[in-house]
Structure 1
Amino acid sequence: MQLTGAEIVVECLKEQGVDTVFGYPGGTILNVYDALYKHSNEIRHILTSHEQGAAHAADGYARATGKTGVCLATSGPGATNLVTGIATAQMDSVPMVAITCNVTLPCLGKDSFQEVDIAGVTMPITKHGYIVKDITILADTLRKAFRIAKSGRPGPVLVDITKDVTAMLGEYEPAVPEPEQLPKSYTQEDIERVLQLIKEAKKPYIYVGGGTIISDAFPEVMEFAKKLDAPVCDTLMGKGAFDGNDPLYTGMIGMHGTKTSNLGVSSCDLLVALGARFSDRVVGDPKKFASNAKIVQIDIDAAEINKNIKTEASIVGDLKEVLSIVNKQMPQMEHMEWVAYIKDLKEKYPLNYNKEGLSCPFVMEELDRITKGDAIISTDVGQHQMWASQYYKYTRPRTFISSGGLGTMGYGLGACIGAKVGMPDKICVNIAGDGCFRMNMNELATASRYDIPIIQIVINNHVLGMVRQWQTLFYEGRYSQTVLKDKVDFCMVARGLGCEAIRVTSKEEVGPAIEKAISLKKPVLIECIIQEDDKVFPMVPAGSAIDEVFDEKDLAKSK
């Protein structure tokens, strides 16, 4: 059948099962928006306040649902405003398709109004990118984009379409999306080598990353841990990949990981990495990381094997598939002494914070209690992000949404909106510091426009907390440009943008504020005023061995 390019775009979105897109219109993409208008009963469009918000919302939607997120933008500044959101999705392996439209073909390369080579700009931060100048390849290109975004190790794909292609007529033939082909490059010998190391180990440790969530391998990871009888730590991206209340769970590993996880991994004789990439925030000094252990890595991306840490054995493949095979072939193991030793570490080094006065850890514990650990928590980046990862108990995958690899301040609010749109029956809460929140707080207008009942908690210490913490510990208290004691009133801003607002200044007010926010079923901001010098502990100095982890007591002793 004959359709315009814009209509083909919409038909391809429907083919892929897309029910929601996030974006902002402009001149070059007007034809696509006109086509969307005619299909508004099939595809919901969320108009964000800024294109970066659209990219983050598509990202949050994808992380919460497991589907591919979609965002739209016009040419020039509209497209470049997506860049940070695209890079965020790339670093955290999030399936996303960003559709932009460019100037007409005759105007390309002539510095035309709002012309930017967005495919070139985003080449290093996408899994793949296309510019479509021919309507005959438009449908197939969009189908490839969705297939690439979701297959193997997921990631963002950009499709840039010239405006004349969206206007001209072309032939469209409906197609059914091809089933995902999981890459398989491992052998039975690889499986047997890993099983051999498992059987030889006396002190095994399991280290889970974001790949476990992407693979939907939650049941297989639980079974593996029980059969191996080994303690489990996670990365920031791996939160919820293993039940945070399970006795075998020891908390996060790395720069702000627990003492138990950092000391335990440093003492183990076998470290099994599941869907984890050994980032610098996890390993610290790579020469000293898990130096007593043989390391096994299971990952879908062959490029991650031996990239940062040398392995003794590895399996390249989908984690869910690989673990289902390993679990069948692995005998029940028993490591009573080792597990008891780790249990003693947990009792000796529990997470702890100053209980006097209002603090972010207390807010997170109250949020966990009230929601019974069943909310979707998104965060921005900084101290609040670490506290949110430490003091809320994540028991299921896709319940913690945060920018791990890129560390994008201003990410969380858009992501929370996307998560709530994708999972409307879940309580969705974004935790932000005051520094992060002011970057994209305009997205509260998006939440109020559509009556999206998210809860935005601002942990306000009137400073850039994480940077200030480093300035305190490593820069002799020189607080260069980290003090935010200005005249901004976040509650007034929230009300001005159409949301409810509650200010909390004491511990007694936290629980009632959260309960009220949930009951209102509308977008609500809760501002929590905390001390400017609250710090995140434990901590490992950048580039140090993870067994050099210290907490507040250690810091006091060293003075």
Structure 2
Amino acid sequence: MAERTAADLVVERLRAWRVPRAFGYPGEAIAPVVAALDRAGGDPEFVPARHEETASFMATGHAKFTGEMGVCLATQGPSAVQLLNGLYDAKLDSKPVVAIVGEDVAGPLGGAHQEIGLSRLFADVCNQFVHYARSAGQVPTLLDQAFRTAAATRSPVCVVLPRAVQEAAVPDLQSHAAGVITATPGEPLARVLPHEVDLAAAAQLLETGSRVAVVVGQGARDAADEVLALADRLGAGVASSLLGKPVLDERLPFHAGVLGEVGTRAAAELMGGCDRLLLVGTNNPWTGYLPMPGQVRTVQIDIDGRRIGSRYPVDVPLVGDAAETLRALLSRLPDRPNPRWRATVENSVDRWRRELADQAAAPAEPVNPRLVLQELSTRMPRTGSVAVDVGSVIYWYARHLELPPGVNAQLCGTLGSMGCALPYAVAAKLAAPDEPVLALVGDGAMQLNGLAELITVANHWSRWRDPRLVVLVLNNRDQSGTGGGRQPVHDPARRRPDVPYAGWARLLGLHGVRVDRPELVGAAWDEALAADRPCVVEAVVDARVPLSPPEPAFADLRGVFADGDAARRVREQVDRQLSVAAEDLV
């Protein structure tokens, strides 16, 4: 029998921490761990990516879609550098990821081939935990500490394993040798609830308001029922951050949609009219779309106390788990809905939804990108996942794609790095191979990472119980970096080289559909969602369609709420402005 090595201990610790797969790009310095994973027979599975950056995005995507720990592997030097983008994504969106990096420097340190100071390289992105293993006996304890730290701090961590350590024979771990600490796996996540005095203060503040608004973020992921119960008890309107879009049923008549630059006018109006604001699990960076400081009294709930008040002034901070904290609040709140305020919010939402339909129906050359997402919205599977890339596609996703309850959606929310959606989609599909997955990307992101990772899709799809992984590519050939009609795009120097995206999919043995006529958009989605294998939908869209960020507090709903005549005047003003905007668009 082959002698057990520290690389085998890595596999054992991954298995003990119930890690289903590790994503990476093999290389000499990490080869012993990859070989040990191969010997493990898929428990855990090693998923080779086409690039280290996409491997780190896959690990972060796994953490985002499953709520579990993501793991990525890389070798030293440039391979380690490529991990940084996905790890910064995990750091800024608070997801636990463990990076295991190999190092193989035979001679003296300082100028060796591919040598980089890994501790300094990862010191910022993995600031909670970066450690070297100096002996095989340290490996189990070091990995346990890394996993515990990642789970407790919701952040990426890094363990560096020299190749000599990976290949070293395993000592007797029962000997308690110097430097070896026995450890067992477990996630040290405590139950966190605010103090009673703070809960009482928050309840009093909210119940004395007459126009309550609730903004939910990704931290409210498991608290949808509690959010809705509180909103109904107070007659509140709700909105979401971009990362919080999947939390609530967007078909609710009082759901104003996404708040922020990519969001909706109804959400901006909600912020303009409220007198009480409840922030639940959100760290939304678009603070300019929140009410003017001093306009409202605010309660914020977050599991991480460092985030409370970091974006917006808060009257009552509540550090705690979202669902449990909301349940504690509900037990202290009387049933005091304000039907007039709720009706005002619903009227604003209804106007916005009619505007969205008009925007999607507006002519474009050749296809309106809003129409592409609107047609998908009516055909969305009832289960599954959506991965969204960075670019103009975020605007159309935020406004025009209505997510059914239970459909998870993730994006690189805070870092905003292009090229994340295909790696995310691969991670989501491997985690749930019996559910459909959609990836929404622009042509720039597809050329950046997507074309290569379609090879990974082609290598795995035949083992999926549900073969549907549909990739939408919005092909507008605009590489100006502005998009959305802010500048003309007829200049050849600013045109991205065209690629036959659907044809590339077919070349790999996948399905591909190219659509350049608006009347065929719906049929293209029907074909893609009925295909017996992954499919690329290439939609040739007009880069001149404006992004049209909403104006902060576009219409002050306080005036609408107070006076019926004022409401009519505001509606007439809004209708006139929309008419002018529609004429400009045409």
TM-score (norm 2): 0.86
Instruction: Report what 1:460 is aligned to.
Output: 475
> Aligned-pair distance for 1:431?
0.7
Alignment match of 2:402 (pick from 393, 396, 400): 393
Letter in 2 for 1:75: Q
Question: Residues 211-253 of structure 1, C-alpha deviation per residue, up to 9 Å, x if partnerless?
Answer: 112xx22332232222232111001100111111122211011
Letter in 2 for 1:446: T
Alignment match of 1:446 (pick from 437, 448, 456): 456
Instruction: Report what 2:314 is aligned to.
Output: 311
Instruction: Report what 1:140 is aligned to.
Output: 141
Secondary structure (helix, strand or coil) at the match of 1:123 reads: coil
Q: Does 1:501 align with 2:512?
A: yes
After the TM superposition, which of the residue ranges 378-387 and 1-10 deviates more from structure 2?
1-10
In structure 2, the CA distance between the partners of 1:393 and 1:285, relative to structure 1 (3 Å rule), is closer
> Aligned-pair distance for 1:465?
7.4
Instruction: Report what 2:570 is aligned to.
Output: none
> Aligned-pair distance for 1:552?
6.2
> Aligned-pair distance for 1:132?
2.1
Secondary structure (helix, strand or coil) at the match of 2:331 reads: helix
Instruction: Report what 1:298 is aligned to.
Output: 301
Do the aligned residues in 2 keep the contact of 1:255 with 1:546 (CA within 8 Å)? no
Do the aligned residues in 2 keep the contact of 1:468 with 1:482 (CA within 8 Å)? no
Q: Does 1:208 align with 2:216?
A: yes
Q: Does 1:36 align with 2:37?
A: yes
Do the aligned residues in 1 keep the contact of 2:193 with 2:325 (CA within 8 Å)? no
Q: Does 1:182 align with 2:190?
A: yes
Q: Does 1:284 align with 2:285?
A: no
Alignment match of 1:261 (pick from 259, 264, 267): 267
> Aligned-pair distance for 1:65?
1.5
Alignment match of 1:384 (pick from 386, 393, 404): 393
Secondary structure (helix, strand or coil) at the match of 1:388 reads: helix
Q: Distance in 2 between matches of 1:20 and 1:67?
A: 11
After the TM superposition, which of the residue ranges 199-208 and 320-329 deviates more from structure 2?
320-329
Alignment match of 1:518 (pick from 529, 543, 555): 529
Secondary structure (helix, strand or coil) at the match of 1:329 reads: coil
Q: Does 1:411 align with 2:386?
A: no
After the TM superposition, which of the residue ranges 231-240 and 517-526 deviates more from structure 2?
517-526
Q: Distance in 2 between matches of 1:556 and 1:181?
A: 52
Q: Does 1:483 align with 2:484?
A: no
Do the aligned residues in 1 keep the contact of 2:276 with 2:296 (CA within 8 Å)? yes
Q: Does 1:218 align with 2:218?
A: no
Q: Distance in 2 between matches of 1:181 and 1:301?
A: 12
Secondary structure (helix, strand or coil) at the match of 2:378 reads: helix
Give ranges in structure 1 of 5+ residues lacking alignment: none
Letter in 1 for 2:162: T
Do the aligned residues in 1 keep the contact of 2:383 with 2:406 (CA within 8 Å)? no
Instruction: Report what 1:531 is aligned to.
Output: 542
Secondary structure (helix, strand or coil) at the match of 2:73 reads: strand
Letter in 1 for 2:296: A
> Aligned-pair distance for 1:523?
2.2
Secondary structure (helix, strand or coil) at the match of 1:125 reads: coil
In structure 2, the CA distance between the partners of 1:465 and 1:266, relative to structure 1 (3 Å rule), is farther
After the TM superposition, which of the residue ranges 510-519 and 334-343 deviates more from structure 2?
510-519
In structure 2, the CA distance between the partners of 1:150 and 1:448, relative to structure 1 (3 Å rule), is same
Q: Distance in 2 between matches of 1:240 and 1:285?
A: 20
Instruction: Report what 1:22 is aligned to.
Output: 23
Do the aligned residues in 2 keep the contact of 1:194 with 1:313 (CA within 8 Å)? yes
1:228-247 to structure 2, matched below 5 A, reads: 228-247=234-253
In structure 2, the CA distance between the partners of 1:434 and 1:553, relative to structure 1 (3 Å rule), is farther
Alignment match of 1:362 (pick from 358, 371, 396): 371
In structure 2, the CA distance between the partners of 1:253 and 1:480, relative to structure 1 (3 Å rule), is farther
> Aligned-pair distance for 1:262?
0.6
Instruction: Report what 2:98 is aligned to.
Output: 97
After the TM superposition, which of the residue ranges 549-558 and 514-523 deviates more from structure 2?
549-558
Aligned residues: 544
Question: Residues 177-215 of structure 1, C-alpha deviation per residue, up to 9 Å, x if partnerless?
Answer: 2243226373111111101101111111000112112xx
Do the aligned residues in 2 keep the contact of 1:15 with 1:175 (CA within 8 Å)? no
Do the aligned residues in 2 keep the contact of 1:229 with 1:335 (CA within 8 Å)? yes
> Aligned-pair distance for 1:396?
3.5
In structure 2, the CA distance between the partners of 1:365 and 1:46, relative to structure 1 (3 Å rule), is same
Do the aligned residues in 2 keep the contact of 1:207 with 1:276 (CA within 8 Å)? yes
Do the aligned residues in 2 keep the contact of 1:103 with 1:112 (CA within 8 Å)? no
Q: Distance in 2 between matches of 1:179 and 1:36?
A: 23
Secondary structure (helix, strand or coil) at the match of 2:282 reads: coil
Letter in 1 for 2:241: T
Instruction: Report what 1:162 is aligned to.
Output: 162
Letter in 2 for 1:283: T
Q: Distance in 2 between matches of 1:319 and 1:413?
A: 30
Secondary structure (helix, strand or coil) at the match of 1:169 reads: coil
In structure 2, the CA distance between the partners of 1:2 and 1:219, relative to structure 1 (3 Å rule), is farther
1:68-87 to structure 2, matched below 5 A, reads: 68-87=69-88
In structure 2, the CA distance between the partners of 1:27 and 1:240, relative to structure 1 (3 Å rule), is same
In structure 2, the CA distance between the partners of 1:31 and 1:386, relative to structure 1 (3 Å rule), is same
Do the aligned residues in 2 keep the contact of 1:463 with 1:484 (CA within 8 Å)? yes
Give ranges in structure 2 of 5+ residues lacking alignment: 175-181, 557-573
Q: Does 1:431 align with 2:440?
A: yes
Q: Distance in 2 between matches of 1:401 and 1:235?
A: 12
Instruction: Among all aligned residue pairs of Structure 1 and Structure 2, give the percentage whose two residues are the same amino acid.
Output: 26
In structure 2, the CA distance between the partners of 1:108 and 1:395, relative to structure 1 (3 Å rule), is farther
Secondary structure (helix, strand or coil) at the match of 1:151 reads: helix
Question: Residues 245-300 of structure 1, C-alpha deviation per residue, up to 9 Å, x if partnerless?
Answer: 12221101111221111111122111100011241xx22277x6364211111111
> Aligned-pair distance for 1:159?
1.6
> Aligned-pair distance for 1:45?
1.6
Instruction: Report what 1:122 is aligned to.
Output: 122
Q: Distance in 2 between matches of 1:235 and 1:481?
A: 37
Instruction: Report what 2:348 is aligned to.
Output: 345
Q: CA RMSD in A?
A: 2.7
Q: Distance in 2 between matches of 1:70 and 1:263?
A: 42
Letter in 1 for 2:452: N
In structure 2, the CA distance between the partners of 1:344 and 1:371, relative to structure 1 (3 Å rule), is closer
Q: Distance in 2 between matches of 1:365 and 1:555?
A: 20
Secondary structure (helix, strand or coil) at the match of 2:482 reads: helix
Query: Larger Cα Rg: Structure 1 or Structure 2?
Result: 2
In structure 2, the CA distance between the partners of 1:108 and 1:53, relative to structure 1 (3 Å rule), is farther
TM-score (norm 1): 0.90
1:2-21 to structure 2, matched below 5 A, reads: 3-21=4-22
Do the aligned residues in 2 keep the contact of 1:517 with 1:524 (CA within 8 Å)? yes
> Aligned-pair distance for 1:539?
3.0
